[in-house]
Structure 1
Amino acid sequence: MIRITARARPALTLGLPTVWGGVAVVYKLGCPLAQQNGLGARIATSAVFFAVGTGLVLHIRWLLLRELRQVRRVADAAQRVLLRPPPARLDGLAVAAAQLSADRGADIGGDLYEAVATEHGVRVVMGDVRGHGLAALATAAAVLGSFREAVHDEPDLGGVLRRLERALDRHLRERARAEHPSTGLAPDSPVAEEFVTVLLLEVGRDGEVHALNCGHPWPYRVRADGVEPLAAEEHLPPLGPFPLPAGLDAVRCGPLLPDDLLVLYTDGAEDARDAHGDFFRLPVALAEAARDLPVSPQSVLRSVLATLRRHTRGRPTDDTALLVLRNERRYQSTWGARGQGADGRATECCEGEPVARPPSFEAVQSTGRRTLRDSARTARLRVLRSHPV
């Protein structure tokens, strides 16, 4: 395969059209056949100009394909930075996420998601920017950037949500100032109508789930006994048009038991229609994908996305994002009474069955110090016995 260096590309871009044009001019002015009016001469002249035209068209096509590949590389890099794949495991939770763009050939749209393990628990965000495609990329980046920093600093979800609101307001004002330097964020400006639906979740070490919902669909909790919405509380208004209320109390959504699945999604999943206008039934697809629990989040994603593509015949009308969490923890501190095992270690009860709890760092450190003291005492006794006074 021939590689073209960066210095040779400008010469190749300008040189090939010049060569084709020179061939046509030389043939027309310097070839005796081009001066004749016979049928053979006309056929030869037409063939020469047809070859020149074909060469120019193929060259232009090559240039456009090269630019398209470059744009796709930039879009892929932007996707990896903005919607980076979450780790396979986060503090005992298995995680998988995927995004399906409505723009053909684009891998990124107006949906956003992220999962981060913090000292407060695993915190997750799922959001949907008004509109789709590359136009919503900057807004999604502003919200995600603020979330990734706020989840480590704020002790509660209310503080995280207020940080997201301030970041979005600052981004919209800067965007309006760039588009309309003289007026700023006017009430009738298109930027003033921008909004973002946001769902914040926190899964604590005890498995308890707390949430704040700003106009976003509630996720589904998938268990062996069926699929149900995580909560049914009223939504807060989406971020952007209206200010947040003074009190932001997170909704307690119950525990996420071992092998339970939590499926977050954007409205593109349930608003997708088939050729007859029927909506996509996401709970049915989830029940089919998680028929035999336990299942991995990756298999649930593959099954649901394949069903969604078949439903829309590969032509979704809106961006769709899915994020699946599965609790793989085998002990929880609030599900039963504590006891003591035969080896002296603390045990905890999970649904009636005692499960050994891993020793803490302090216990391991204390055991190590005790072992060192015993070893030192034994060594001194050996010295005294071998050398009596």
Structure 2
Amino acid sequence: MFRIRRPLRRAFLLGLPTVWGALAITYKLACPLAQQTGLGARVATSAVFFAVGTGLVLHLRATLLRELRQARRVAGAAQSVLLRPLPPRIDGLGVAAAQLSADRGASVGGDLYEAIATEHGVRVVMGDVRGHGLAAIGTVAAVLGCFREAVHDEAELGSVLHRLERALARHLRERARAEHPSAGPPPDTPVVEEFVTVLLLEIGRDGEVHALNCGHPWPYLLSGTRVEPLARADPLPPLGPFPLPRELPAVRVGRLLPGESLVLHTDGAEDARDCHGRFFSLPTAIAAAVGDDPVTPQTILRTVFTALHRHTGGRPTDDVALLVLRNERVRERAPEGVRDGDTCGSAARARPAPTHPLPTNHV
């Protein structure tokens, strides 16, 4: 049925221009008025050809608009599969996420995020693929697809990260063979320069937060009216260019207490500039979400995107993705020796140094 409809559709699209062209040629060759050289005959001939040209332009415009609507429907379907809408609440955590594309009319890009409740806790990924376009979308699909399976299968966060690394390497090899079949082995192709920054978080039922960071910006912790980075340690290299260490113990970065929020973001947020070249202050925008109204992930998201839109004049130069997690669980009595006001950030400053090596220079 599809093979039959496609030629018919092409014939229909070409039918109207063909009819208009045949009418114009018939008028020029067969109509006596078109053979005359008087002013009235020339005006009539010009009107006929003007009508033909107008009809062709309108037909072409209608065809392009139809194709554009179809492309946007396909992009929307791809977005719903790749970056599927997150539920407003996951295992006691309020959730809100959205992205802003630098390309007007684009629905998907190189940013990725996901939050899933597992038996090990709520596991979250935020990442940024180098580049844009269909190639970046394919990489996003490979990484997210692997993450959605690995978080349930692997007990350790480091094992999840190793799974993501293998999935990315496999995807890049397949892409290299498809895009450059005559370029030789994968090391001879430009695909080897691709990389993905990834941040993995695991939030337990008690609010304990463990993390593994591969070249991605650390999220911000909103506690009361204070906004501070979740951690300040140097991240591992991004996935792709360099192999990860064999041992990857997750780093404890503190606790997310009830009423506190984490704001995960891609580097497009803090790299956004205004017309004078000034960078966007993400912590200031997050703090502005604290007001008289109850603070929710949706209000934080809306406040930040409004401030970002105002700062860039509605023309961001890079894709931006935000994911807000707020602990809405019932506050429990703090264990002995731990102050009730102890926050994720203060615990992070008191934590021991990570046991795995961290590079001094990172992307």
Q: TM-score if structure 2 supplies the norm length?
A: 0.88
Distance 1:251 1:225 in 2: 26
In the TM superposition, what is the alpha-carbon distance from 1:57 to its structure 2 partner?
A: 1.0
Distance 1:180 1:6 in 2: 30
Q: Deviations over 1:207-245 (max 9, x none)?
A: 111100000000000011410000111211100000101
Within 5 Å, which residues of 2 pair with 1:224-373?
A: 224-292=224-292, 294-332=294-332, 335-336=334-335, 351=340
The answer to whether the Cα contact below 8 Å between 2:97 and 2:324 also exists between their aligned partners in 1 is: yes
In the TM superposition, what is the alpha-carbon distance from 1:182 to its structure 2 partner?
A: 4.3
Within 5 Å, which residues of 2 pair with 1:54-203?
A: 54-203=54-203
2:345 maps to none
Distance 1:193 1:156 in 2: 28
Q: What amino acid does structure 1 have at the position aligned with 2:202?
A: E
User: The residue matched to 2:123 in structure 1 has which SS?
Assistant: strand
User: The residue matched to 1:187 in structure 2 has which SS?
Assistant: helix
2:348 maps to none
Distance 1:293 1:221 in 2: 19
Distance 1:328 1:336 in 2: 19
User: The residue matched to 2:167 in structure 1 has which SS?
Assistant: helix
Distance 1:164 1:293 in 2: 40
Q: Against the structure 1 CA distance between its residues 298 and 185, is the aligned structure 2 distance closer, same or farther, given a 3 Å change threshold?
A: farther
My pick for the range that moved more, 262-271 or 240-249, is: 240-249
Distance 2:233 2:225 in 1: 22
RMSD, aligned CA? 2.0
Q: Deviations over 1:307-357 (max 9, x none)?
A: 11111111111111000001110044x7237xxxxxxxxxxx9949xxxxx
Sequence identity (%): 73
User: The residue matched to 2:165 in structure 1 has which SS?
Assistant: helix
Q: Against the structure 1 CA distance between its residues 127 and 227, is the aligned structure 2 distance closer, same or farther, given a 3 Å change threshold?
A: same
Q: Against the structure 1 CA distance between its residues 185 and 302, is the aligned structure 2 distance closer, same or farther, given a 3 Å change threshold?
A: farther
Any unmatched runs of 5+ in structure 1?
338-348, 353-389
In the TM superposition, what is the alpha-carbon distance from 1:254 to its structure 2 partner?
A: 1.1
The answer to whether the Cα contact below 8 Å between 2:100 and 2:319 also exists between their aligned partners in 1 is: yes
Q: Against the structure 1 CA distance between its residues 48 and 95, is the aligned structure 2 distance closer, same or farther, given a 3 Å change threshold?
A: same
The answer to whether the Cα contact below 8 Å between 2:264 and 2:322 also exists between their aligned partners in 1 is: yes
2:29 maps to 29
Distance 1:243 1:292 in 2: 48
Distance 1:187 1:300 in 2: 44
1:213 maps to 213
Distance 2:184 2:309 in 1: 42
Q: Against the structure 1 CA distance between its residues 156 and 275, is the aligned structure 2 distance closer, same or farther, given a 3 Å change threshold?
A: same
Any unmatched runs of 5+ in structure 2?
342-363
Distance 1:14 1:72 in 2: 23
Q: Deviations over 1:102-130 (max 9, x none)?
A: 12210110000000000000000000000
Distance 2:177 2:42 in 1: 62
Distance 2:247 2:6 in 1: 58
User: Residue 42 in 1 paired to residue 19 in 2?
Assistant: no
Q: What amino acid does structure 2 have at the position aligned with 1:59?
A: H
User: The residue matched to 1:289 in structure 2 has which SS?
Assistant: coil
Q: Against the structure 1 CA distance between its residues 308 and 12, is the aligned structure 2 distance closer, same or farther, given a 3 Å change threshold?
A: same
The answer to whether the Cα contact below 8 Å between 2:129 and 2:136 also exists between their aligned partners in 1 is: yes
Q: Number of matched residues? A: 336
My pick for the range that moved more, 120-129 or 246-255, is: 246-255
Distance 2:9 2:167 in 1: 42
Q: Deviations over 1:26-72 (max 9, x none)?
A: 21122221111111110111011011011011111111111111111
2:354 maps to none
Query: If you compute each CA radius of gyration, which structure gives the higher value, 1 or 2?
Result: 1
Q: Against the structure 1 CA distance between its residues 168 and 184, is the aligned structure 2 distance closer, same or farther, given a 3 Å change threshold?
A: farther
1:344 maps to none
User: The residue matched to 1:318 in structure 2 has which SS?
Assistant: coil
My pick for the range that moved more, 285-294 or 196-205, is: 285-294
Q: Against the structure 1 CA distance between its residues 131 and 10, is the aligned structure 2 distance closer, same or farther, given a 3 Å change threshold?
A: closer
User: The residue matched to 1:246 in structure 2 has which SS?
Assistant: coil
In the TM superposition, what is the alpha-carbon distance from 1:156 to its structure 2 partner?
A: 1.3
In the TM superposition, what is the alpha-carbon distance from 1:10 to its structure 2 partner?
A: 4.0
User: The residue matched to 1:211 in structure 2 has which SS?
Assistant: strand
